[in-house]
Amino acid sequence: MASDTGKLTVLAIKAAKPGKHFDGGGLYLHVQEGGRYWRMKYRHSGKEKLLALGVYPEVSLSEARQRWDAARALLRDGDDPGAMKRVRKVADRVAATNTFNAIATEWLKRQKPRMAEATYAKAKWTLDDLVSPWIGNRPIAEIDAPEMLRVLRRIEERGAHETAHRTKQRCSQIFRYAISTGRAKHDPTGDLRGALAPVVTKSRAAITDPQAVGELLRAIDGYGGGLVARSALKLAPLVFVRPGELRHAEWDEFDLDNSVWRIPAGKMKMREEHIVPLPLQAIAVLRELHPLTGRSRYVFPGERSASRPMSENTVNAALRRMGFDKDTMTGHGFRAMASTRLNEMGWKPDVIERQLAHAERNKVRAAYNRAQYLDERKRMMQIQAP
C-alpha cells in the first residue's frame, strides 16, 4: 500500500512497513521484502517517469534528498535526469574498459611484431612494474600531468634518471595511441617538458689500449667459471654484437659449416637482419659449447631454466670476478674495443659501422654497403680475432 505522510524522518524510515513512503516533491522510499529503495517520480516531455536514487541505508535520507535536488535541477534546465543517468553509466563502462592498462596491453600487442625480443621484454617490464601499479586501473582520459609526474618521480627518486625519461617516452607512445583511437584527447607527458632531472650521459667503460686488450683476452682464456659464461666471454670480443643480441642467440640462427650467424630482424635494434661472419676462433668456441647446450633453444641458457637466456648480468659479473671493475670494462664495452682497434688498424669506417649494426639512414647506400662490403667484413672479422 502507499502512504503520503509528509517529510520522512530517520525514525519513520526504520519503522516503515512495506509500501511507498513519500518525502515530498516526488521523492519516496519504496519498502519491499528485499530492501528499501529510494525513488523519484517526475514528468518530462509530458510523460511520467521513475528515477532510482539508491538503496537505504547505503544512501541516507539526507543524501537521497541531495540526489533528488540534483535531479530537479536537471529538470529545470530541460534535461531528463533518467536519460542523463543512463549516459553516465555508459560513459563509466567505457572508461572502465579504457584504462591505461587495457590500452597499454593493446598497444604493446600491436608493437610486438616490430620490436626486438629484448625491447619488448623491457617495454613490458617498464609498464608492468613501474607504471601500472600506480595508474594502471585509471581511465586513460582522466590521467593528468601531475599524476603522471608522480609516477615518474618515484623512478627518479631512486636515482634511475634515464629509466624515468625512457618510461615517460614509452607512456607518451601509449597516450598518443589512445588519442589516435579516440579514447583520449591529450598526452599529459607533453606537459612535463623540463620537469625531470636531465640525464647525464656517460660512455660505457671499455678497454681500448692494445696492451690492456691483450691482458683482458688472456684473462678470459683463463677464466675458471662455468662453460656457458666462459664461452660468452670468449665470443663477445670475436663478434662484438650488443649484449642483448649475444644473450638471446639461438642455435638455429647459426650455420657453423658456412661460418655465419644470422640474427633475425626482430631481435635487432634497427629492425634489420644482421649477418655476423664467424672467425675460426668463434666456430671453435661454439663447437665446444654445443654438446652442453645444443639441445636448448638458446646458445647461452640461464642457470635456472634452459627455456630462458642467461642473465643480462652474467658477463659483467664474470668481468668483475676477473678483476675488471665497472669503470674499466663492461659487456657493452667489447663493441667500443672492437671499433677503436679496427679503426686504428685501418679498416674502412663503413665496414666497421655495418658490422656494428649501426643504422644507415640512406637506404640505397645501406643496400649498396651490404652487397659491397660483405666479403670485406668476412676478412675483417677473421683478421681481428685474437
Which of 21, 183, 332, 341 is the catalytic position?
A: 332
Which of 335, 341, 354, 377 is the catalytic position?
A: 335
| 308: annotated active-site residue | no
| 368: annotated active-site residue | yes
Whether the Cβ atoms of residue 293 and residue 301 lie closer than 8 Å to each other = yes
Which of 36, 242, 247, 341 is the catalytic position?
A: 242
Q: Would you state the cell numbers that stand for residue 52, as one nine-digit string? A: 532510482
Whether the Cβ atoms of residue 373 and residue 268 lie closer than 8 Å to each other = no
| 335: annotated active-site residue | yes
Q: How many Å apart are CA 169 and CA 283, to the nearest integer?
A: 40
| 358: annotated active-site residue | yes
The SS3 of residue 185 is coil
Residues 6+ away with beta carbon under 8 Å from 282: 235, 238, 239, 385
Q: How many Å apart are CA 272 and CA 361, to the nearest integer?
A: 12
Which of 20, 112, 165, 269 is the catalytic position?
A: 269
The SS3 of residue 43 is strand
Residues 6+ away with beta carbon under 8 Å from 297: 250, 251, 306, 307
Largest CA distance in the chain: 102
Q: How many Å apart are CA 215 and CA 98, to the nearest integer?
A: 57
Residue 361 backbone dihedrals phi, psi, to 5 degrees: -65, -35
Which of 150, 358, 365, 379 is the catalytic position?
A: 358
Among 293, 281, 280, residue whose Cα is nearest residue 249: 293
Q: Would you state the cell numbers that stand for residue 128, as one nine-digit string? A: 608492468
Q: How many Å apart are CA 164 and CA 155, to the nearest integer?
A: 6
Q: How many CB atoms lie within 10 A of CB 186?
A: 14
Which of 14, 153, 321, 368 is the catalytic position?
A: 368
Q: How many Å apart are CA 207 and CA 271, to the nearest integer?
A: 29
What amino acid is encoded at 184 in this protein? A
What does 138-183 look like in DSSP terms, one character per residue?
SBGGG--HHHHHHHHHHHHTTT-HHHHHHHHHHHHHHHHHHHHTTS
| 47: annotated active-site residue | no
| 21: annotated active-site residue | no
Q: Would you state the cell numbers that stand for residue 340, as one nine-digit string? A: 677503436
Whether the Cβ atoms of residue 31 and residue 21 lie closer than 8 Å to each other = yes
> What number of residues does the chain have?
386
Q: How many Å apart are CA 297 and CA 293, to the nearest integer?
A: 8
Q: Which residues are the active-site residues? A: 242, 269, 332, 335, 358, 368
